[in-house]
Structure 1
Amino acid sequence: MSKFRELLMEKRHSSKLPDWHQYYQGMKILGNSLRVADSRRPYLDLMHFQNENSFSSDQDDDDSLVFLSESEEEQEQTKAQQAWKILIADDDSNVHDTTVLALSGVHIHGKPLEFLHAFSAKEAKDLAISNPDTSLILLDVVMETVDAGLKLVNVLRDELSRKDLRIVLRTGQPGYAKENIMGNYAIDGYATKSKLTRSILISMLNEVLDDTKDKDSLPN
């Protein structure tokens, strides 16, 4: 195109008649060049658009990843809030281990289980205070004293007003009569450790952790 422009300038300032053949050839070359440029324009415009929006696209992807992360965190929090929180109160560490093992992966009324551990009546009281959302306490009778568990029942019901807390007494002492215990203490269940199998324990939890159960039926 530079030679064509030089030719036009030369002819414009010359007194000679123009060479019309070269002029028409130059116009043809110019027209072809313009058509090629126009045919590439959509592709070039598309590349320009992609380059301008590449940062915003990455930004959108990052925002989506953050949104998914927050959603997963909310799901975990919701799951934790829906779990039954069970306090195991027993001075024997083997009882804690076997209980957790027996209930591993078990869901009660569609909810998973979460465990807290206390090895004395005092620890159980402190955990019950610091965890007001505790659903159930599996309570040993004999700990610091031969009746530490029984005394804790009265503390939980009367002193702490935990009427909504389910309490299941577990004892290794066959001398305690179930009828007397159930009649004199505001508990939801009673079991002898030697007779408490995995299936019986799960069945007991299904009954005790029933949200439709009338808590007013507990003995006073």
Structure 2
Amino acid sequence: MDEECEPQTHTKLLQPWKILIADDDISVHDTTLLALAGVRIHNRPLEFLHAYSAKEAHQVLLENTDMSLVLLDVVMETVDAGLKLVGVIRNELDLKNLRIVLRTGQPGYAPEQQVNTEFAIDAYTTKSKLTRSILISVLNDTLSVSPPATGYPN
């Protein structure tokens, strides 16, 4: 009888991927939620937190040490607010395992090749080319690269 309960228990133990949507455009938050409604990545559900500025994203990360991934806009309070936040995440907060997917609507401010070589990010997308299937594929690939962030180092 215990063997029958084991698969259920295992499923219940699968914690959701905690994903921060950091973007100053509320419609990006709404469309992301709509596109990812009911989606599971590696058999785990998704849980979303929201920030509408880099400053707010920084605060959310301070309060949520178990974040798995950040969907990060480049242009928010300033044209490079998202890029500056990458530095804060990697250096000040020392979150080396936190996955970062840059999403930009203005690729001229953050050219993909330059960003990929200068910043410690896991993926780069332009909003204009980002479809539901591409977003799911990016999350699937990014969340399988390494183990989820375990929080802040002691």
- The TM-score, its normalising length taken from structure 2, stands at 0.85
Deviation at 1:80, TM superposition (A): 7.8
**Compared CA separation, residues 79 and 88, structure 1 to 2 (3 A):** farther
Deviation at 1:107, TM superposition (A): 0.3
Deviation at 1:141, TM superposition (A): 0.3
Q: Is 1:191 aligned to 2:122, yes or no? A: no
Describe how 1:63-102 pairs up with structure 2 within 5 A. 79=12, 82-102=15-35
Q: Distance in 2 between matches of 1:80 and 1:119?
A: 31
Q: Which residue number in structure 1 is paired with residue 52 of structure 2?
A: 119
Question: Which one of 130, 150, 164 corresponds to residue 63 of structure 2?
Answer: 130
What residue identity is the alignment partner of 2:53? S
Whether contact under 8 Å (2:22, 2:71) holds in the other structure is yes
- Indicate the RMSD between aligned Cα atoms, in angstroms: 2.0
Q: Deviations over 1:16-50 (max 9, x none)?
A: xxxxxxxxxxxxxxxxxxxxxxxxxxxxxxxxxxx
**Compared CA separation, residues 79 and 87, structure 1 to 2 (3 A):** farther
Question: Which one of 143, 147, 150 corresponds to residue 209 of structure 1?
Answer: 143
Question: Which one of 155, 169, 192 corresponds to residue 102 of structure 2?
Answer: 169
**Secondary structure in structure 2 of the residue aligned to 1:210:** helix
Q: Distance in 1 between matches of 2:104 and 2:12?
A: 32
Q: Deviations over 1:162-198 (max 9, x none)?
A: 0010000000013132111010000000000000000
Query: Which is helix-richer, 1 or 2?
Result: 1
**Compared CA separation, residues 79 and 131, structure 1 to 2 (3 A):** farther
Q: Is 1:105 aligned to 2:69, yes or no? A: no
**Compared CA separation, residues 79 and 130, structure 1 to 2 (3 A):** farther
Greater relative contact order (Cα < 8 A, sep 6+): 2
What residue identity is the alignment partner of 2:114? N
Q: How many pairs were matched up?
A: 139
Q: Distance in 2 between matches of 1:173 and 1:105?
A: 29
**Secondary structure in structure 2 of the residue aligned to 1:82:** coil
**Compared CA separation, residues 148 and 212, structure 1 to 2 (3 A):** closer
**Secondary structure in structure 2 of the residue aligned to 1:85:** strand
Describe how 1:20-35 pairs up with structure 2 within 5 A. none
**Compared CA separation, residues 100 and 202, structure 1 to 2 (3 A):** same
Q: Distance in 1 between matches of 2:138 and 2:83?
A: 20
Q: Deviations over 1:82-134 (max 9, x none)?
A: 10000000000000000000000000000000000000001100101100100
Q: Which residue number in structure 1 is paired with residue 5 of structure 2?
A: none
Q: Distance in 1 between matches of 2:104 and 2:42?
A: 26
| Uncovered stretches (5+) of structure 1, i.e. residues with no partner | 1-74, 216-220
- The TM-score, its normalising length taken from structure 1, stands at 0.60
Q: Distance in 2 between matches of 1:151 and 1:80?
A: 35
**Compared CA separation, residues 202 and 159, structure 1 to 2 (3 A):** same
